[in-house]
Structure 1
Amino acid sequence: MTTALEDLKEARADLKLAREQLAAEKAKPIAEQDPVDVKNGQEEVKAAATAIEAVIVRYRNAERDLTKASTELKSAPEAAEATLTKTSTPTPDVVSEEIKAKQLSELEAERKAAAASGDQVAVAAVDAAIALVKAAPAEANKGEAKNSTVEGMDFQASFAKFLKEEVQVDTPWPTFNKKLKQKFENPELFLYKLQNTVYKFSFLLIPISLPFIWLLLCWKRGVTLYDHAVFALYSLSFMSFLFLALALTSHWVDWSHYSGWIFLAVLCHTYFQFKGAYALGWFSALWRTTIFVFVFAPIALGLFFTSIIILGAVG
């Protein structure tokens, strides 16, 4: 329950930040507003509010477990009852009412702030969280079975389920294991933080890629790490523009049917960039492209996403 309350505080801070960013975008003159940024801001507000709901559901589940454990302990031998009395543990009902009042107070303040800024998306999202807090425990626990991701975000729902049910944390560092497991207990909030971390630290792909590019050209004279950094920067720029174009046109074209052509475009770009940037022959560029795309690139992406998960977990 304590962990859930800490996560609730963190989720509320994320909601406040998302709401402030959305308000800042809406405060711009109409001519300067970017509809895509406004829509993304609204989705971030919804996702942050959904994370709050998920934490509240988790708190309710912990509250239910505490009630069940207390009931079993009261039916145990007198020695166990004496131990319970000696520790002066507050009853679940007392704890529940105190926490419920505090949660409602904080969420009401968040709602007033959202209403004052005219952000109806945030108001509706916070209203849903308030309703969940006011609901009876049995009703709130039903929230565990519903899809608590933003409408249309099937990937998020699948990934959240994967984190919660499939991922096993077993690193050599017990403290990190504990912290990561706590994050996975609320996969919606963890995924929301992970998305923010990806774009903030996307530049990490450049230093991660440098050793692999160097291995392919370490014996070529007149080539320095600076050249490799420029190569990596141009490659990432091409990939960014490619996926941006795919995202902008996905409303009209189902690109999943053309994945082979997209991969071919990546291969061709990598080949011609190797050939042109380092003045290579067609065969030299071809074998370097093959090794880079099929061996080094997956390793670099694996290292990148591992770093992102660690940063998202400890952040």
Structure 2
Amino acid sequence: MSRAARGLDFARRDVLGGASALAALTMSGCSPRVGSAFTATDTHVLDYPTVQAVIRFGEILSARTDGRLSLKMYAGGQLGNERDTLEITTFGGLDFNRINLAPLNSIEPLTKVAALPFLFESTAHMRRSLDGEIGEEILASLEPHGLIGLCFYDSGSRSFYNTRGPIRTPADMRGLKLRVPGSDLYVAMVQSLGADAVPMPLDEVYQSLAQGVIDGAENNWPSFESGKHFEVARYYSLTNHLLAPEVFVMSKISWDKLTASDQALVRDAARQSVPYMRELWDRQVAKSKAIVMGSGVEVNEVDPAPFAAAMTGMWDSFIDDARQRNLVERIQALRGGESE
């Protein structure tokens, strides 16, 4: 078993922090098992677009049911990192979770498709691909794993940042220790560029950068800014290698307790939260970019072609069944539409 796969093994010993927090939640009467509110979690801070979108989702549910269905959000990793909370969600300890694709890659092969580097040519292409049947197929594939996929949220364009110097070509990445989410796909992506991949939860990145445990990481403008990573990693290189989305999921155990009409309400409220999230996201990207640029971080443009060429071989390593290849071909067929 690879290092990344071990990091994604949902053993109970790995979720003690999140489980303990959840136990305290339950004892306090905030859990839906002893109270009226659903629980939701997100590792991002309260004003982050995905958190606000889930809160809006809860507001829609509450308004449409006169308060019968409501939501309590625990943001900022209060209940643990994504690896922790994902397992808790699958066994019904949490009702809703906003999750990155990376921890889902180890349990459902179809989620790897949307995580392929340089698959989406633009934000518009990504949204066009995932708002229809392709996205629905990926979301539906989560149900056998104890999760109901509700919708996709934007996660922006991801680029590399580090403490050493500008990255202009793949050669500049050789020997760099770069944090990645816990996913074999992300590990292979970084290794294909000559860097050393270090799987690590997002909440450990700032300290690891400050202490020199890692040299850098890769993420979008809002995460680079809101996590304060720009304070220690002063070089941001716009490789724009990923446009992988986030996923909003519900525990299937919690889902199965709902009536069919309430299930329909949940799905509709989730869909309604998407345009709100995207509006907030586009604003947040502009705001975060201004903050980072204003801080004096050195930002450099990059020719993406050499990076894409270096990653070509890894596609075949992860896209190895007919269902995955079919989705890739359908996404590629949607290229060339109007860009944003």
* Smaller-chain TM-score bracket: under 0.3
More helix by share: 1
More strand by share: 2
- Scaled by the length of structure 1, what TM-score is found? 0.27
- Scaled by the length of structure 2, what TM-score is found? 0.26
**Larger relative CO (CA 8 A, sep 6+): 1 or 2?**
2
